[in-house]
Amino acid sequence: MRLGLIGNGAIAKAVTAYCKKNTNKITIVGSIGLDSDIKSVGSHPIFTKIDNLFDLSPDVIVECAGNNAVEKYANLILSHRIDLVIISVGALANDHLYKELLSSSIKYSSRFFIPTGALAGLDAIESAKVDGLKKVFLRTTKKPKAWIGAPGAKNINLDSIKNAQTIFNGTARDAARLFPKNANVAAALALSGIGMDETNVELVADPNIENNFHYLRAEGTFGNLEVKVDAVPSLNNPKTSHLAALSIINQLEKLDL
């Protein structure tokens, strides 16, 4: 498999390390980075223009660079008949973009995949949706520093938080919009289940924890579901969990190319 990356950060680094150990399966041909990205996270070349990556004929491109990257490149990638793995699922809270990608995947016979990220239980949620999934709730708890820079936290003094404090309570769509680097789990859950506007999300800042916690509760005709995840943060980026990178690797293992 010839793999391209969009991103040159913590998740790209983890995926690159995996591919380095599995060169018989996957070769990273190149990546797209920022103008400020001078050094690649691997031995592959790094570009600032997507056409340079297309010239290397990747079979699959993995996006791990944020919502803006999905908005900028996703439809273009699919229109080049290249499969795409999207980790910044919060971008798909934009209904127009999501429908556009669905349309392009049909028109150009390309596919886009949404890894499970740092949350377990999405397979059960998809099954429950078939008949009578009624309520879905997600609580995500991270250290205050993990929420720094989020539009939804701009009026919150994160440094002053001494105990667990709810900083957001609302829909998955609003969570994705206000906390774009932290709410990919909420967006993936919403797409698997009852939708962006029906999925309830609570975001919590807690200085007294070490890991990222996700608590999922769902109710329906199937019964009740509760899932708890205690996820180790990425060493290079506390906004995301190491499990998110592992979910991309798992997705790549499943691809039939």
Q: Which of 44, 80, 96, 214 is catalytic?
A: 214
* 214 carries an active-site annotation: yes
At 147, the amino acid letter reads W
Give a three-class secondary structure readout of the chain.
CEEEEECCCHHHHHHHHHHHHCCCCCEEEEEECCCCCCCCCCCCCEECCHHHHHCCCCCEEEECCCHHHHHHHHHHHHHCCCEEEECCHHHHHCHHHHHHHHHHHHHCCCCEECCCCCCCCHHHHHHHHCCCEEEEEEEEEECHHHHCCCHHHCCCCHHHCCCCEEEEEEEHHHHHHHCCCCCHHHHHHHHHCCCCCCCEEEEEECCCCCCEEEEEEEEECCEEEEEEEEECECCCCCCCEHHHHHHHHHHHHHCCC
Provide CB contacts within 8 A for 55, sequence distance 6+. Answer: none
* Nearest alpha carbon to residue 253 among 122, 8, 13, 85: 85
Catalytic residues: 214
